[in-house]
Structures are given as structure tokens and as C-alpha cells.
Chain A
Amino acid sequence: MDIARVDQIIDKYEAEPSSLIQVLLEIQAENNWLPAEALERISEKLQVPLARIQHIATFYKAFSLVPKGRHRIHICMGTACHVRGATRILDTVQELTGIQPGETDLELKFSLETVNCLGCCALGPVMEIDGETHGKMTTAGIEDVLKSYE
């Protein structure tokens, strides 16, 4: 993400210190993570100390200070999904993508995360990619689902 685009987002919010979270969210949405240079720029322009930005960026789970993939995989580990074999789904996804929960692959394609309930237990085991729900997953069906993401 180039600094010019960061500046554009900051200008949109008129460099208002109280818009810090909005600015961070927008950069996070476009870039999937918050690079150090962007944070330094925000600190400079919004006149918010870097330590404060760092506190906020590490406080909320919506922000990431490390690169994230283009697609975010969330695998539900809730009770209903668990008894319907979520662990096996997770194992298969790990095997196919080569990453553990919390990690991102080298091509920045996928980031893997486990969650505790996605709220649609009847569809268990559930896997969610970029907000799209894939219910009643089977270990055999995962490969096809992952292939449909570029």
C-alpha cells in the first residue's frame, strides 16, 4: 500500500484525531493489514502518538500488524461444529493450505483462524471464507471450496 493512498484516506477524515479508528479500519479493509509506515504516517498527520495507535491496533481483533492473506478462513470450533467433526475439517484445511491457525501463507492467499461460534450451528461443521458461509463441510469437499478462491 503506498503512502499516497494512506494520505488520501487520512484527508477524507480531515486528519481528525478522533477518526483514528475509522482511518485504521479503512486501511485494514483495503490492505488486509496495517504496515508500520502507514501507522507512522497516521501518527504524524493525526497528531496521535504512535504508542497510542499501537495500543489501539493491538487492542482490537479487527486490526492486524502482520500481513494477512487475501482470503480469511474462519473455522468454527464451537460445540455443535466440534461434535460434527470440526477438528477433522481444521486438520484438512491445515494440510491443504500448509498453515496453522493464526498464520498466513507465503503467497498471501489465505489466513487461517479458528472461531468459537459462527451462530449457525445447524449448518455444522461450518467454515467461513471472507464472510461467506460454507456449511455441512466434509473433508472431501474442502479442496473444491478452497480452489474457488483466487
Chain B
Amino acid sequence: MSDIRLQIDGQEVAAQQGMTVLEAARGAGIEIPTLCHHEKLEPYGGCRLCIVEIEDRGRTKLVVSCVYLAADGLVVRTRSEKIDRIRRTILELLMAHAPDAFELQKLAEEYGAQRDRFEKEPMFCIHCGLCVRYCAEVKQKSAVGFIDRGIRKEISFIPEIAARECEPCKECFPLCPTSYLQAAYVLTRSLASSADKVG
């Protein structure tokens, strides 16, 4: 575990080998916005909101800080016109799915994202995967998972497992940035109980 030194927003930051840029920044009190990051979970790189600009051996490139490993001599910029523009667009796209999510609105205000820039397609899930990954990695129950792909990808509880595990746990509920998870859970439960009545 050798120490490495990098520069984030002009500030010298010490980090350990194997840390991501995001971890190094947060350790030094520099805030980078994230939606899919959770310290108990493996890095995912799903929301792309934590994008930063890095300068390595004279070249600049855009990387996602939650999965990019910190390296010695790295120069990182967490805010610039370009980064803000990218984050704004990401937020605007996500708001087409979940226009009234509190976390998105808060970030939208900071980055000047317009809520109604893109045509609304409310599915309320932004595919951050927090619930799916928390259930699999921390609880090791996998009661909720993704199904399908592309524009039809959505979260889905497995009724048999959810009926057994979810009621006393519900630890994934506060993780959801849009509250869609709770709705999906209630829907699964009501479908399961109505199936019981029929059966």
C-alpha cells in the first residue's frame, strides 16, 4: 500500500494505491456528484455523473471518477465548463424518466439543467442499480434484479424471494434516488397477494 500523490482542483491530495479518483477526492473533502455510487458496494460506473477531466502525461481526457484508479502525478479537474455541460445533459436525460425526483432536482439546480428539455418518458427508474447491487452484495439475497435490456430494462422483484426477505429488511428503500423502488415493491406485493386470493 504505497502512498500516491495527485492533484485535484489544484489541491495536493494523498491517496493509497487502489483507490479511485472519487474516493481520493471525497477523502480530501472535494465533492463530486454521484447517483449510483455507494461506499459499501463495488464501483459500478452506471450514472456517469461523476465524470471528471484528468491530465495524465500531458494529455487530457474525460473519465468516470468512481471507476478510474488514482495514480501518482495525476491532475484532476472536477468542475469545468465542459464537465458541467456533460453533467447537465445527463441530468436532463435522467429527468425525462424521473422529472420530480428530489435528488435530481437538487442537482439540476446546481448545474442549470432544464427539467423539460427532453420529451418525458416517465418510468421513474434511472437504472442506478443501487437496490439490485445492495441486495446482491450486502444482503446476498438478490430479491430484486434487472430484467430485459436497453429501453425496456427495468427492476423486478422475484415474488417468492421478496415475500420471504423484504418485509423486515427494506434497507434498499432509502437508497433509491427516485423512490420508484418502493412503488415497484408495493406493486409486486399487491400482485402477489391478489394471486394468493385467486389461487
A→B interface (CB under 8 Å)? 49-52, 54-55, 58-59
Asked if B149 CB lies within 8 Å of chain A CBs, one says yes
Question: In the complex, which residues of chain B have a beta carbon less than 8 angstroms from the beta carbon of A52?
Answer: 136, 142, 145
Query: What's the Cα separation between A61 and B161 when bound, in Å?
Result: 25
Asked if B132 CB lies within 8 Å of chain A CBs, one says yes
Report A52 CB to chain B, min CB distance, Å.
6
Asked if B163 CB lies within 8 Å of chain A CBs, one says no
Given contacts A49-B136, A49-B142, contact A54 B161 (CB under 8 A): no
B148, A51: Cβ atoms closer than 8 Å: no
Asked if B146 CB lies within 8 Å of chain A CBs, one says yes
Asked if B187 CB lies within 8 Å of chain A CBs, one says no
Question: In the complex, which residues of chain B have a beta carbon less than 8 angstroms from the beta carbon of A54?
Answer: 145, 147, 156, 158
> When A and B form their complex, which 7 residue pairs have the shortest distance between CB atoms, in order from nearest?
A51-B145, A49-B142, A51-B142, A58-B147, A58-B148, A55-B146, A59-B149
Report A47 CB to chain B, min CB distance, Å.
11
B148, A50: Cβ atoms closer than 8 Å: no
Query: What's the Cα separation between A58 and B141 when bound, in Å?
Result: 20
Question: In the complex, which residues of chain B have a beta carbon less than 8 angstroms from the beta carbon of A59?
Answer: 148-149
Question: In the complex, which residues of chain A have a beta carbon less than 8 angstroms from the beta carbon of B135?
Answer: 51
- 30 contacting pairs across A/B (C-beta < 8 A): A49-B136, A49-B141, A49-B145, A50-B142, A50-B145, A50-B161, A51-B132, A51-B135, A51-B136, A51-B142, A51-B143, A51-B144, A51-B145, A51-B146, A51-B156, A51-B158, A51-B161, A52-B142, A52-B145, A54-B145, A54-B156, A54-B158, A55-B145, A55-B146, A55-B147, A58-B147, A58-B148, A58-B149, A59-B148, A59-B149
